[in-house]
Structure 1
Amino acid sequence: MQFTNFDAAAFLRDYWQKRPLLIRNPWQSWRNPLSPDELAGLACEDHVESRLITQSSDDWNAEHGPLPETRFGELDKCPWTLLVQAVDQHVADVAALIEPFRFIPNWRIDDVMVSYASDGGGVGPHFDHYDVFLVQGLGQRRWQIGGMCNDQTPLRSHEDLLLLAEFEALDEWILNPGDMLYIPPGVAHNGVAVGPDCMTYSIGFRSPSRKELIGSWCDDLLPQMTDDDRYCDPDLVTQANPGEIPANAIDRLHAMITEKLTDRKEFAKWFGEYSSTPRYPETDWRPEEPIEADHLRELLTADHPLIRNPASRFSFVREEQGKLMLFVDGECFPCAGKTAELAEMVCAQDAFVIDPEWRRSDEVVALIAELYNRGSLSFDWG
């Protein structure tokens, strides 16, 4: 799917992380990519993250999947909502929804969550710490937009849901199939299904916090350090007051920490690995049989297209003199020359045919074989 009337540059300039935007059906031809029954089937699978939200008067109850098939037949007339995470990893047509949003860098993309709601169903007024595009798939949903929130905003007492204690709507729209609503981080919002068969696709974008970055970066650094690397002061002299921690000692202690934390090259490598780690790293996408270089070269010569695994995350960091670090599913692959050109193409395109010149490169074939055997790439036999 592609947009037919959407100015990405103007959107980034005027709305991205600034204010909400309602976009009436910007698609060339909107087609709902998933049926309600297919979504319910995914919610019954062990390896799929899902929740069922049921409402009773002014309260919400959350059940975590996998859900038994019989559960949907037991639902009464009270409003309810089914939420399924990372549906793009399991349904190619849902993964295709991400393509029009590639004007936002790959490393920011999180997943496509899909919801189905009965009449009046919703998850309550809340806010998120990330950017989200809400695409109406089927039916109608009323969206109300409130003010800005933060970690000090009062919340209801609830074990599973982060619900606002108070919510005042400042804007309100009803979305029809194909309509889209962009909501920046921190903006309060509340969506309620209007009528039956309401499906919404939430395309979310990650935004790491300073706390998260520092904690994870330090966790990665600590195993690399030894107890022998200690403070030392061979130039120690007597001081007037033994209780004082002098400025030169503070400088040395501070440098012991900052020298490690400010290594930009090491941070870039760490962040590439960190940000490309799959959402569900325990899922094994490897092929049943690994491919050998000779067989791979034959398939490439026959112009069989390669495709990226929708569950895989690809990005790269450019280095000096035509070199770069390719990051795929938490692993770093140093690239130069033709492998660097391949890495840029793989990060930019979901499907591609390998250039004949590249097929003669042992390094290119080795990199493709490695990514194929990891389950990050596969051949499109369609």
Structure 2
Amino acid sequence: MKKLTLLGGLTTQQFLRDYWHKKPLLIRQAIPQFKPLLTREELAAMAARDDVESRLVTHFGARWQLKKGPFDQLPPFSKKAWTTLIQGVNLHHDGADALMQQFRFLPDARLDDLMISYATDTGGVGPHFDAYDVFLLQAHGKRLWRIGPQTDMTLVEGLPVKILKNFKPEQEMVLEPGDMLYLPPHYAHDGIAVGECMTYSIGFRTPSFQELGEGFLQYLTESVELDGHYADPDLAPTSKPAEIGSDMITRVATAIRKIRFADDDIAIFLGEYLSEPKPSVFFDAPVRSTSLPRFLERAEKRGVKLARKTRMLYRGRHVFINGDSFVAASADRRALVKLADRRGLDPEDIKAASEDVREALHAWHEDGWIVLQ
């Protein structure tokens, strides 16, 4: 297995075995001579958009404040102690999307997004912990990181940001452009800008089991079929008319226990759930509609690729794209799996694809889910 500079010369197998979900890893020059993909002015412009999730954290005069975007204006770049956080930059910028794809040695079902944090001198969001794994890539300037395996997760009360009350770091390190720090979930950390800086955070999805359970129950409501109606032919007179009888509870419980689900149901739910775009995501359909023959003519010359915002997964015969699911015929599965894994198809793949796949690609193109290479 190939060793990756991105992982400090470790193979992906070594990283997953020794560090993933276990302990931090500091990687000097994970991406040598890395340059920021966006200027601070471009980030400010993104923070002004209503289709981009952004936050502003300030620590002026020892007072923490949190505001949510969009922002018509950010504080002056010359002013210390403020941070703007731009979520999901990979959804809006090709370079950020390409950078996030470098982390696809981990499953797409776990990979979430790329967030950019811009901070002026001394800026940060305070000592905290995240519920997910994260890679912190320094893109511009320097940032001091203080980290520790905190067990006391008590938060300071009354603040708009979640700050650890009794933070006790065990390590300190300064990251420069190209350096990267991996942190497992719930590992306490505090990043402080040393001068102006930008940090790129590649984060991962860790939905709570409560969230998954609620989602699965909602999914089941669309597929559950329980025949018949409640009946009690042996009903007896009662002297307590307001009481719910034991027989009624038993009959209803017996009916509800007929609800069954298999691993396939879980797989379909997860595929739809994990490929569903976030509520803030909207797709850009082509300005002009393209006929199927014209689309195929272009696709057979240029190939296609998934749009930045598209999430595509598969499991066995089931294919999931942007929350939709369907069963792929054996003749179609090879092309669809390749599209999901490589996030694109070459002209030769288009020519060899079945008519069903070619028609699906055209429909997805019209919806803005795929684009021509």
TM-score (norm 2): 0.87
Q: Which residue of the partner structure matches residue 271 of structure 2?
A: 272
Aligned counterparts, 1:228-243, within 5 A: none
Q: Which residue of the partner structure matches residue 321 of structure 1?
A: none
1:194-226 alpha-carbon deviations (Å, 9 max, x no partner)? 112x00000000012111111111122235446
Q: Offset at 1:361?
A: 2.3
CA RMSD of aligned residues (A): 3.0
- Percent identical pairs in the alignment equals 34
Report the CA distance shift for 1:294/1:21 in structure 2 as closer, same or farther (over 3 A): same
Match of 2:372 among 358, 367, 379: 379
On the 8 A contact 2:154/2:164 being kept in 1, the answer is yes
Distance 1:255 1:172 in 2: 59
Structure 2 residue 330 is matched with structure 1 residue 346: no
1:1-50 alpha-carbon deviations (Å, 9 max, x no partner)? 97483421100000000111111112255232221111111011121111
Structure 2: which 5+ residue stretches go unaligned? 236-243
Q: Which residue of the partner structure matches residue 99 of structure 2?
A: 97
Aligned counterparts, 1:39-54, within 5 A: 39-54=43-58
Q: Which residue of the partner structure matches residue 132 of structure 1?
A: 134
On the 8 A contact 2:33/2:177 being kept in 1, the answer is no
Report the CA distance shift for 1:263/1:190 in structure 2 as closer, same or farther (over 3 A): same
On the 8 A contact 1:81/1:116 being kept in 2, the answer is yes
Q: Please state whether the residue corresponding to 2:283 is helix, strand or coil.
A: coil
TM-score (norm 1): 0.85
Distance 2:231 2:133 in 1: 47
Report the CA distance shift for 1:87/1:235 in structure 2 as closer, same or farther (over 3 A): same
On the 8 A contact 2:128/2:190 being kept in 1, the answer is yes
Distance 1:362 1:335 in 2: 13
Match of 2:348 among 346, 349, 355: 355
Match of 1:12 among 4, 7, 16: 16
Structure 2 residue 156 is matched with structure 1 residue 156: yes
Distance 2:329 2:170 in 1: 52
Greater Cα shift, 271-280 or 290-299: 290-299
Q: Which residue of the partner structure matches residue 305 of structure 1?
A: 303
Q: Offset at 1:164?
A: 1.4
Structure 2 residue 118 is matched with structure 1 residue 120: no
1:280-326 alpha-carbon deviations (Å, 9 max, x no partner)? 35523222333332112211232x131221111111111xxxxx211
Match of 1:109 among 108, 111, 129: 111
Q: Which amino acid aligns with 2:134?
A: V
Q: Which residue of the partner structure matches residue 218 of structure 2?
A: 219
Distance 1:231 1:264 in 2: 30
Distance 1:21 1:8 in 2: 13
1:230-261 alpha-carbon deviations (Å, 9 max, x no partner)? 6789999xxxxxx9979xx59x937834843x
On the 8 A contact 1:297/1:359 being kept in 2, the answer is no
Report the CA distance shift for 1:226/1:361 in structure 2 as closer, same or farther (over 3 A): closer
Q: Please state whether the residue corresponding to 2:347 is helix, strand or coil.
A: coil
1:261-284 alpha-carbon deviations (Å, 9 max, x no partner)? x32222211210111011235523
Distance 1:2 1:255 in 2: 58
Q: Which residue of the partner structure matches residue 253 of structure 2?
A: 253
Q: Please state whether the residue corresponding to 1:315 is helix, strand or coil.
A: strand
Q: Give the aligned length.
A: 362
Q: Which residue of the partner structure matches residue 324 of structure 2?
A: 331
Report the CA distance shift for 1:267/1:356 in structure 2 as closer, same or farther (over 3 A): closer
Q: Which residue of the partner structure matches residue 239 of structure 2?
A: none
On the 8 A contact 2:78/2:120 being kept in 1, the answer is no
Structure 1: which 5+ residue stretches go unaligned? 237-242, 319-323
Q: Which amino acid aligns with 1:162?
A: K
Distance 1:229 1:164 in 2: 55
